[in-house]
Structure 1
Amino acid sequence: MIGPPIVVVMGVCGCGKSSVGQGLADALGCRFIEGDQHHPEANIVKMSAGIPLTDSDREGWLAVIAGFIADADRTDQPLVIACSALKRRYRDQLRGDSARVLFLHLDGDKPLIAARMAARTAHFMPTALIDSQFADLEPPGADEAALTQSIRLSAETIVAEACRHLNTINRAANTTAGGNA
């Protein structure tokens, strides 16, 4: 990856995408976009009622998120965006043609996620949707530019690890591109 990073902080509901995403954006000195704020009202109503979204429901929302990523890529800007990106085909759509996209997968088990969701008060996603989130989750494959971090770690530790990972990738890319010449 040469150039400023575009990081999609991904995972199931309640894994800490917003907290980690904002912390990473602050550390990188770049824009943070909360993907949930871009769901159409119909999706929010559906999720608030405990009804899982379908691929069709997510289609327009993912297109909006992909647009933010494409704009950042086109203008050579860094970006951190929180988006569940649960399925491989969603991540492929978000990534588009960009070689700068890294998925930061926040990984945790159902009991921990349930406890976190039960403790939060200002979000439309009910705990009833945890099972559907895990059913849809396809963790990133070995062929995807991704870093998986346990949500048992602090947000600060996850951000620090992500920054180290990005620095390592950039050093390797610069060396490959002739940075040692």
Structure 2
Amino acid sequence: MRRLVLVRHARTSAVRQAAFPVDEPLDDRGRADAAALAGSFRADEVLASPARRARETCAALGLDAVVEDPVLAECDFGAWAGRSLAEVHEDDPAGVAAWMADPDAAPHGGESLRAFAARVAGWLNGQAGRDGAAVVITHGGVVKAAVAHALGAPVEATWRIDVTPLRTTELHAHDGRWTVSRVNA
């Protein structure tokens, strides 16, 4: 059996501002919140996005022997990176509308929701055949896409899943099939 505990990285300025992320550090609150949870996560292995905010979350949580995996990176938001959704909507309302309605749209020049979800699904399918427990420090989008895939939900369901910084989502694989044990706990 494979057990994954997916943890969204701690808070950053982009999280606070509802902005599309860049490779930003944790903010002071994020560092303190993660440090308060140090020692809370134990597993056979620790996997993480290579993003700075994920690495800093691992450090603040006291996690070591971390294996970074680029597949665990957040969606590539292209030209929208570093900007708030409100700013982008003001400049390109048609692009935002297309992005929200069409999982194949990528008006920002980065990944479409479908391409991003396929990347996460491929990683999750590979994890399903493994044994042991892993803590995975990653991004809200990755967690949402993983939950949607585990449930066999359409890619558009990704928009309907909420993931808060430092909250856990737990998935179990039995005979290559995923079950969702908890979300955003």
Task: Bin the TM-score by the shorter chain.
Answer: 0.3 to 0.5
Q: TM-score, normalised by structure 1?
A: 0.36
Task: Return the structure number with greater relative CO, CA threshold 8 A, min gap 6.
Answer: 1
Larger helix fraction of residues: 1
Q: TM-score, normalised by structure 2?
A: 0.35
